[in-house]
Amino acid sequence: MFTNLSIATSLATKLLLTCLLTLSISACSSRSNPVIYQNNFDFSQVKNYSFYTSGSAFFDSQDLPHSQRSSIEIAIEKRLDAHAFNYTELDKADLVVTYYLVKNQKKDYQNYNKVVRFCSYCLKASTWQQDGDWQVYPGGLIIDLVDPKKNRSVWRSIYPLKFKAKDNSRVLNEKLTEAVDIMLSQYPSK
């Protein structure tokens, strides 16, 4: 009798632990990162996107190696292409995608904000929607979606990359791709 009772208790414990683990994993994966966007911009009309080219004010706003820029842009392209957005020439784009790796260089961050015409004081205006606790921190990746007609950011997200000194290039790219996927998954309904 004790054997059947201990087997039933063991199975119930395993079932309970499995349910708790599943619940905690789904809670972590559904947790959203901070996103802010201008709610009077019609995101449903966006079909094409582009990036600023080298030599542009955006490109010059942060000193990043070309390999790092390529990794970020490839991750962004894969995510946007998977959601039926089309890459196009800059003059035909509905949105321009920009990005910024947050470091401890306040001047670079201020220059980047000027380039994408992002104004933190404007967030208090009624035309902005904020989801999550917005703050900028070192080691974060910022992605902005810029309205090319107004040359102003209409959507912004930040996500911690959590790079470590021991990470090899494969691990760095995996972290980058995961961050981009999570960030762009919060694009307003298309």
How far apart CA 97 and CA 148 sit, in angstroms, is 10
Do 21 and 101 lie in one domain? The reply is no
Residues 57 and 19 in one domain: no
pLDDT tens by residue, 12-24? 444 333 333 333 3
Contact 38, 155 (CB under 8 A): yes
Residue 168: inside a domain: yes
Clarify whether residues 81 and 4 are in a common domain.
no
Range of the domain at 157: 33-184
Q: Do 23 and 38 have their domain in common?
A: no
In the chain, count H helices and then E strands: 5, 7
Instruction: Name the phi and psi angles at 155, rounded to 5.
Output: -155, 135
* Confidence at residue 172, expressed as pLDDT on a 0 to 100 scale: 87
Could you tell me if 140 and 73 lie in one domain? Answer: yes
CA-CA distance, 186 to 30, in Å (whole number)? 11
The CATH code of the domain that includes 70 is 3.30.160
- The answer to whether residue 178 scores a pLDDT higher than 70 is yes
What is the DSSP annotation of 8-65? HHHHHHHHHHHHHHHHHHHHHHHPPPPEEEETTS-GGG--EEEEPPTTSHHHHTS---
* In-domain check, residue 190: no
User: Considering only 9-18, 21-30, 94-103, 149-158, which range has the smallest mean pLDDT?
Assistant: 21-30
Cα–Cα distance measured from residue 113 to residue 152, given in angstroms and rounded to the nearest whole number: 10
Q: Please give the Cα distance from 144 to 160 (Å, whole number).
A: 15
Residues 79 and 121 in one domain: yes
| Stretch 180-187: mean pLDDT | 93
User: How many domains does the chain contain in total?
Assistant: 2
Q: Is 189 a member of any domain? A: no
- CB neighbour burial string for 2-22, b if at least 16 within 10 angstroms, e if fewer: eeeeeeeeeeeeeeeeeeeee
pLDDT above 90: percentage of residues in the chain: 38
pLDDT over 70 percentage in the chain = 74
